[in-house]
């Protein structure tokens, strides 16, 4: 059974999350979990201090109490100034920022189940209204492309920072 548990750079499980690895040929497809956790901390700390801005929602992914991955989504309100706003259309939206399955646990549908659970949460609009959820991936990352397409994401024809942008209508 796949479960998502909130995680931050300050949690005692952080070293275990950072130790997760993708296959060598996938290393250019996704940022490390250390970078992702640092980005989440920075985004959320900025919002805490200013009372405005983007929100990052990071989760460690467990299968039967074993950490097998990491996922992070974001909420970007209108007028946000993060780098991820380049992937959106300028209106409030959600964005599946990272989806990471450890190399030992790939090929068994874990990524699809993670995406299903994250999308169930996003569809409840937990941080605000939005019409779309975006994702992006390297054009040659066929596993990510297949995972997002299988859920109903459609590529919108844009390439941002070398990544294909896909959109899901909420």
Residue 151 CA to residue 56 CA, distance in Å, equals 22
What is residue 25's predicted lDDT score, i.e. its pLDDT?
Answer: 74
3-state secondary structure of 26: helix
What is residue 137's predicted lDDT score, i.e. its pLDDT?
Answer: 92
Q: Which domain holds residue 134?
A: 2-169
What is the chain's length? Answer: 170
Is a pLDDT exceeding 60 seen at residue 98? yes
What is residue 82's predicted lDDT score, i.e. its pLDDT?
Answer: 57
Strand segments (E) across the chain:
2-6, 55-63, 66-76, 93-101, 132-137, 154-160, 163-169
Q: How confident is the model at residue 159 (pLDDT cuts 50, 70, 90)?
A: confident
Average pLDDT of the chain to the nearest whole number:
89
pTM: 0.90
Residue 29 CA to residue 141 CA, distance in Å, equals 7
Report the interhelical angle of 142-151 vs 110-123 (nearest 10°).
Answer: 40
Number of domains in the chain: 1
What is residue 90's predicted lDDT score, i.e. its pLDDT?
Answer: 74
Per-residue model confidence as pLDDT tens digits over 26-69: 777 878 889 999 999 999 999 999 988 899 999 999 999 999 99
Q: Among 1-5, 48-52, 122-126, 127-131, where is mean pLDDT lowest?
A: 48-52
Mean pLDDT of 76-84: 64
Nearest to 35 by CA among 52, 14, 55, 61: 14
CATH number of residue 87's parent domain: 3.40.630.30
């Amino acid at each position: 059974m796949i479960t998502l548990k909130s995680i931050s750079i300050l949690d005692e499980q952080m070293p275990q999350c950072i130790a997760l690895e993708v296959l060598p040929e996938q290393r250019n497809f996704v940022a490390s979990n250390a970078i992702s956790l640092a980005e989440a901390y920075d985004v959320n700390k900025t919002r805490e201090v200013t009372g405005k801005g983007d929100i990052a929602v990071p989760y460690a992914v467990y299968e039967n109490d074993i950490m097998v991955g990491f996922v992070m989504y974001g909420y970007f309100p209108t007028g946000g100034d993060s780098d991820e706003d380049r992937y959106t259309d300028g209106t409030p939206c959600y964005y599946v920022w990272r989806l990471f399955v450890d190399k030992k646990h790939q090929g068994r549908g874990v990524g699809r189940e993670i995406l299903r659970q994250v999308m169930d949460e996003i569809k409840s609009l937990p941080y605000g209204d939005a019409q779309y959820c975006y994702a992006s991936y390297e054009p040659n990352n066929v596993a990510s492309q297949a995972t997002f397409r299988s859920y109903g994401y459609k590529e919108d024809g844009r390439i941002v920072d070398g990544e294909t942008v896909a959109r899901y209508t909420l």
